[in-house]
Amino acid sequence: MAAFDENLFFATIGELNARLLRREFSAVELARAFLDRLEALGPRYNALALSMRETALEQARRADDEIRRGRRRGPLQGIPYGAKDLLSVAGKPTAWGARPYARQTLPYTATVLRKLERVGAVLIGKLAMIELAGGGGYRWASASMHGPCLNPWDTSRWAGGSSSGSGAAVAAGLVPFALGSETWGSIVTPAAYCGVTGLRPTYGLVSRYGAMALSWTMDKIGPLARSAEDCGLILQVISGGDSQDPGSAGKSFYYAPQYARPLKELRAGFAPADFEEWAEPAARPDFLKALDTLRGLGLQFRQVRLPEFPYSAVAGLIIDAEGSAAFEDLITSGRVNELDDARQIAGLRAGLEIAAKDYLRAMRIRRLIQQELRKLLADVDLLVSPARFGPASRISEPLDRPRSQASRPKDRGLSDLGAAGNLAGLPALVLPCGFAGGLPVAIQLVGRPFSENTLLAVGREFQRVTDWHRRRPPAIPPA
How far are the Cα atoms of 135, 327, 346, 400 from residue 317, in angstroms, in the given order?
Answer: 11, 15, 15, 17
How far are the Cα atoms of 233, 307, 372, 382, 439 from residue 378, in angstroms, in the given order?
Answer: 28, 14, 10, 10, 35
Alpha-carbon distance of 222 to 51, in angstroms, equals 21
Alpha-carbon distance of 330 to 349, in angstroms, equals 10
**Residue 252 bears catalytic tag:** no
Q: Which of 163, 166, 181, 186 is catalytic?
A: 186
Q: Which of 162, 215, 227, 324 is catalytic?
A: 162
Alpha-carbon distance of 270 to 295, in angstroms, equals 12
Q: Which of 84, 115, 126, 220 is catalytic?
A: 84
Alpha-carbon distance of 135 to 230, in angstroms, equals 30
Give the number of other CB atoms < 10 A from CB of residue 155. 17
Using DSSP bridges, classify how beta strands 154-158 and 178-182 pair: parallel, antiparallel or unpaired. unpaired
Does residue 107 contact residue 90 with C-beta atoms inside 8 Å?
A: yes
Longest dimension (CA), the chain: 64
Strand order through the sheet with 178-182: 48-51, 122-127, 80-84, 178-182, 220-225, 197-200, 428-436, 439-447, 382-386, 267-270, 300-303
Q: Is 431 left (phi over 0), alpha (psi -120 to 50) or beta?
A: beta
**Residue 186 bears catalytic tag:** yes
How far are the Cα atoms of 197, 380, 382, 450 from residue 300, in angstroms, in the given order?
Answer: 23, 9, 10, 21
Number of helices (H), then strands (E), in the chain: 15, 13
CA neighbours closer than 13 Å in the CB half-sphere of residue 391:
22
**Residue 162 bears catalytic tag:** yes
CA 73 to chain centre: 25
Q: Which residues are catalytic?
A: 84, 162, 186
